[in-house]
Amino acid sequence: MIRAVVFDMGNTLLQYRRSGDGSWREFEALGIRSVYRYLVEQGHPLPEAEEAFVDAMFARLAEGWVQATAGTANLRLPNWIADGMAAHNLALDEAALLTAASHYARPIREGVTPTPGAVETLAQLRARGISTGLISNTVWPGELHLEDLAALGLLPHLQHLLFSGDYGVWKPQPEVFHHMLELLGVSPDEAVFVGDSPEEDIVGAQRVAMRAVWMRSGFPLGAVQPDAVIDTLPELLPLLERWAGSLTV
């Protein structure tokens, strides 16, 4: 019996506006440029031109992401900014770091929308007695995501949420999946994970014996074999019905 569904956030429940060539670097560049301009406005002496600052901060982010998903480090937005400033022998106090973090998030949050059918799918799951959770790999403070999820009508339908930077463990590490299962009070064979990243979402969930549904995205599957593939979230309920025979608990 399927008793719970756990979702990834970006490109699964939420869609973020993509600028430029749509690459990850261009996506992050919106926030990094905003941080650079905030720091310059505050009178902090940055020796680099803006584009060089973007390159250096993105390289630091990409390296930290690899370490975090490998389980060797955590990555949080204020710490990432602080480390970037330390490279220029600059130190920001906690208040300034939090303000810089909000400047980073602001332009990225502007274009966020629910993926088609996200609110309706979550509502139907909860109406049928299925528990719901969310695990997101993110450097952002969780409260920023909570604000967006609430504003877009998703938060009331999500029972437990884990944001990797706050929790300190990232997908695909088994601990974060096991912790979510404990929060939901279900066993792995009673839960399904839905996400767009083959390695972080699909492999991570299957590693702890959860069934994993791949939300088709720009990520190539490669050798990863999800238990099912969907293009839109409304396809999820018919899939679960085929697997479980009924969504009634």
For position 227, which CATH number holds?
A: 3.40.50.1000
**Model confidence pLDDT, tens digit, residues 102-139:** 999 999 999 899 999 999 999 999 999 999 999 999 99
Query: Is the confidence at residue 246, as pLDDT, over 70?
Result: no
Q: 82 in a domain, yes or no? A: yes
Residues 62 and 130 reside in one and the same domain: no
What pLDDT was estimated at residue 248? Answer: 45
- Asked whether residue 105 falls in the same domain as residue 177, the answer is no
Q: Is the pLDDT of residue 247 over 50?
A: no
Query: Could you give the number of structural domains in the chain?
Result: 2
In angstroms, the Cα distances linking 146 to 8, 39, 44, 77, 83 are: 14, 26, 31, 16, 26
Q: Nearest-CA neighbor of 145 among 9, 6, 7? A: 9
6 vs 161: CA distance, rounded Å: 9
Let me know: does 198 contact 222? Beta carbons within 8 Å: yes
pLDDT for position 217: 85
Among 95, 86, 64, 78, CA closest to 31: 78
Are 105 and 142 found together in one domain? no
HSE-CB for 149 with a 13 A CA cutoff: 24
118 and 93 in a common domain: no
pLDDT tens profile 54-92: 999 999 999 999 999 999 999 999 999 999 999 888 889
Domain hosting 173: range is 4-15+112-244
pLDDT beyond 80 at 244: no
Q: Are residues 174 and 147 in the same domain?
A: yes
SS3 155: helix
Q: Are residues 121 and 145 in the same domain?
A: yes
195 and 159 belong to one structural domain: yes
Q: What percent of the chain has pLDDT over 70?
A: 98
Whether residue 67 is found in the same domain as residue 164: no
Asked whether residue 148 carries a pLDDT value surpassing 90, the answer given is: yes
- The answer to whether residue 249 sits within a structural domain is no
17 backbone dihedrals φ, ψ, rounded to 5°: -65, 135
- Let me know if residue 229 belongs to a domain: yes
- If asked whether residues 178 and 148 sit together in one domain, one would say yes
Q: Is the pLDDT of residue 201 over 90?
A: yes
CA 137 to chain centre: 4
Question: Is the four-CA dihedral 160, 161, 166, 169 of positive or negative sign?
Answer: positive
Per-residue confidence at 165, pLDDT binned at 50, 70, 90? Answer: very high
Question: Quick one: 139 and 221 in the same domain?
Answer: yes
Percent of the chain whose pLDDT exceeds 90: 87
pTM confidence score: 0.94
Residue 214, beta-bridge partner list: 195, 229
